[in-house]
Structure 1
Amino acid sequence: MNTKNTALAASVALACSLTGSAALSLDLTGKTVDFVIPFSETGGSARWANFYAPLLSEALPGNPTVVVKYMPGAGSTKGANWFQSQDYSDSEGTLIFGSSGSTQFPYLLDDPRVKYEYGDWNVVLASGTGGVAFLPPDLAGKMNGLDATGLQDTDFIWGSQGATRLDLVPLLGWEMLGMSVEPVFGIKGRGDGRLMFERGEANIDYQTSAAYLKSVVPLVEAGHAVPLMTWGALDADGNIVRDPTFPDIPTFKEICEATPSCETSGDAWEAWKAFFIAGFPVQKMVFLPQGADQDAIDTYTAAFNEVTARADFKELSENTLGVYPQMTGDTAQSMLKLGTEVPAEAKDFVKKWLLDTYGVSLK
């Protein structure tokens, strides 16, 4: 992560070089670009994709209509397996795919249901994000400052996409805090988990930043929810710090440090941190299918650079997505590697934890 600023500068330089015929050789006039999201329309990925779709339409040559399409199932594995079967020659620039940490984690854990290979895809945008966990007001009152010990005698119910998805991060974190959280597996998107919370079917939840800003902040303002913690963010040296979008909410690390039963060292912590890094600083990515030529990659890279260079992008993105880096070019390639690799020790720990805790055997 120490090379992040250098890589970011390289990305900016790349954006400046993508002019003329290379950036405009893909003509999408009169065409429709399908932006496929492997989740339901209620979660943070939908919010992220729908934010970018009209802006991307304006920036791509020929101003095509960019339509977000949803392909939920198996925690995003269904859609990702479908995308793996697509070839650029069949779409000629009219198909892009948006992945999430819930797509990366089964890949990282060698889930046998995974038939996709990130190395075959062509990344054109990498978006960092965060996540916020929240409680009903009566349960939030059991916290003693940052100490979560008072939550350990509560039986929590939580709507989850699955233990091998991005939900791994909160599940392991809550266990480290000594909390008893019973997941109801099988929801199609994090938005469905929020709806369970709103209906009183669940008494804890977390949402990625875009969905939290849109759908949970109103619950907080109405007194129906209280933020518990964020997962945090990474500084330039790879340290976990407060999420820049939610600087007033403590991080999981802070809660762990204040809770006697939780430790910010050892195997569990190192595994949690490794999967947090893989899942949130580079949580969402946009890809062209395998076989995409360099002109197409350059065209989409230039379009995303044009979007993020807009004078109003900072205001638009802060209100919709939060305060996180939006990366292209070499930086996106570096982030792709960060999001699809974890140390072997962390992978082994998580696989054993999944088997011991949930009976999930990834063979």
Structure 2
Amino acid sequence: MSLTNFTRRVAMGIATAALMAPAAMAGGHGIDLAGKTVEWIIPFSETGGSAKWANFYAPLLSEALPGQPTVVVKFMPGAGSTKGANFFQEQEYDDGTLIFGSSGSTQFPYLLGDPRVKYEYGDWNVVLASGTGGVAYLPPALATKVADGGAAALADEDFIYGSQGATRLDLVPLLAWEMLGLNVEPVFGIKGRGDGRLMFERGEANIDYQTSSSYLKGVAPLVEAGTATPWFSFGALDDDGNIVRDPTFPDMPSFKEVCEATEGCETSGEKWDAWKAFFVAGFPAQKMVFLPAGASNDAIVTYTKAFETVKARADFAEISAARLGKYPQKTGAAAQKALDSATKVPAEAKSFVVSWLNERYGVTLK
């Protein structure tokens, strides 16, 4: 039996059960979404990694949900993703047809106490947590300098970087580049990382980073064409919490390796601890799917089971590796644990970053 036929039979069974024994549904068996449209809010533009992640999952989720509803991705960029997140915070659960896709750039303002944040992760209901990575890349001419003399060979270069904002996920590369001794001037205000890549392609920026899904889709073709060269990935965490090479990019050095090879860049101390804390908060659970406040247990069960069905597909490992990279896709208790780690950082790390943002970029967080 094909997965599609199996899913349809499951959906029909759930619908029938809902008609014959509605009281049983209250126990958390699921909801039927036949004939409905699920709106998936992404608080970024349609050019970035979150768009690619949501567009990858949307048709698979549609097939796996009971009743096979249409899943439509709606982009709501603005204020570094806080506009869309604040909108979602105001929504109350109705019938399971509204979900939200968060990113590290949504988590960081929350962690840092950005005054524009009106949302509370504790009010939402997580049903999927997706890990990811990030890759920094350069124009080939500058990459040749790195190959010859390491990061120190770039000390006299003036870099321009298209950034969504210093309190967003861009915090991770901006702090990493400073630790390497680079002079990087961010141009703030872009709506998504895809816009930063477009600046790089047009020659308006000469350094960039993308999350793994955007790198695989948008930057790998530039590498093949000879107009971009990968430098390093931010890495991944092993079971003991150590930074290791990213499994999606095993041939690239991690930032830790590059830092260790660069004079003046330390992999211990308060700056490293702050960088690692925000890397951990921003990447191992970089993207998450939520139902709004007040969601019924039936709805949470339905979406959790749907994402588990997607993960159980025979072809999922292959198609997800090609589109998203090789990272954990977590549901249930594992997703909740990932959410907890993504929305908490040590007080010392937060204090360092708040001071650094003020001194380096004039950002005041109250």
**TM-score bin (small chain):** over 0.9
Matching residue within 267, 270, 274 for 1:267: 270
1:329 and 2:329 matched? no
- CA distance in structure 2 between the partners assigned to 1:217 and 1:167 by the alignment: 20
1:349 and 2:348 matched? no
Matching residue within 76, 82, 93 for 1:77: 82
* 1:153 partner amino acid: D
Runs of 4+, deviation exceeding 6 Å: none
Unaligned stretches of 5+ in structure 1? Answer: 1-18
Matching residue within 318, 329, 334 for 1:315: 318
Is the 8 Å Cα contact of residues 84 and 117 (structure 1) preserved in structure 2? yes
Q: What SS does structure 1 have at the residue aligned with 2:288? A: strand
- CA distance in structure 2 between the partners assigned to 1:74 and 1:310 by the alignment: 37
Q: Look up the match of 1:41.
A: 46
TM superposition score normalised by structure 1: 0.93
Q: Offset of 1:147 from its aligned partner? A: 2.8
1:29 and 2:34 matched? yes
Q: Look up the match of 1:253.
A: 256
Q: Look up the match of 1:151.
A: 154
Q: Offset of 1:24 from its aligned partner? A: 5.2
Q: What SS does structure 2 have at the residue aligned with 1:98? A: strand
Q: Look up the match of 2:62.
A: 57
* 1:124 partner amino acid: V
Per-residue CA shift, 1:156-210, capped at 9, x if unaligned? Answer: 0000000000000000000000000000000000000000000000000000000
Matching residue within 290, 301, 305 for 1:302: 305
* 2:93 partner amino acid: Y
Corresponding residue pairs, total: 343
The structure, 1 or 2, with the larger RCO (C-alpha pairs under 8 Å, 6+ apart) is 1
Q: Offset of 1:84 from its aligned partner? A: 0.2
Matching residue within 112, 134, 139 for 2:115: 112
Matching residue within 340, 344, 356 for 2:343: 340
Decide which structure has the larger Cα Rg and report it: 2
Q: What SS does structure 1 have at the residue aligned with 2:209? A: strand
* 1:265 partner amino acid: S
- CA distance in structure 2 between the partners assigned to 1:248 and 1:151 by the alignment: 22
Q: Percent identity?
A: 74
* 1:317 partner amino acid: S
- CA distance in structure 2 between the partners assigned to 1:146 and 1:346 by the alignment: 31
Q: Look up the match of 1:15.
A: none
- CA distance in structure 2 between the partners assigned to 1:341 and 1:282 by the alignment: 12
- CA distance in structure 1 between the partners assigned to 2:345 and 2:148 by the alignment: 33
Matching residue within 211, 216, 220 for 1:213: 216
* 1:142 partner amino acid: K
- What is the Cα-based RMSD across aligned positions, in Å? 1.2
Q: Offset of 1:58 from its aligned partner? A: 0.3
Q: What SS does structure 2 have at the residue aligned with 1:169? A: helix
* 1:323 partner amino acid: K
Unaligned stretches of 5+ in structure 2? Answer: 1-13, 18-24
Is the 8 Å Cα contact of residues 24 and 61 (structure 1) preserved in structure 2? no
Q: Offset of 1:25 from its aligned partner? A: 3.2
Per-residue CA shift, 1:290-342, capped at 9, x if unaligned? Answer: 00011100100000000000000011101100000000000000000000000
Q: What SS does structure 1 have at the residue aligned with 2:146? A: coil
* 1:261 partner amino acid: G
Q: What SS does structure 2 have at the residue aligned with 1:88? A: coil
Per-residue CA shift, 1:201-224, capped at 9, x if unaligned? Answer: 000000000010011000001100
Is the 8 Å Cα contact of residues 146 and 258 (structure 1) preserved in structure 2? no
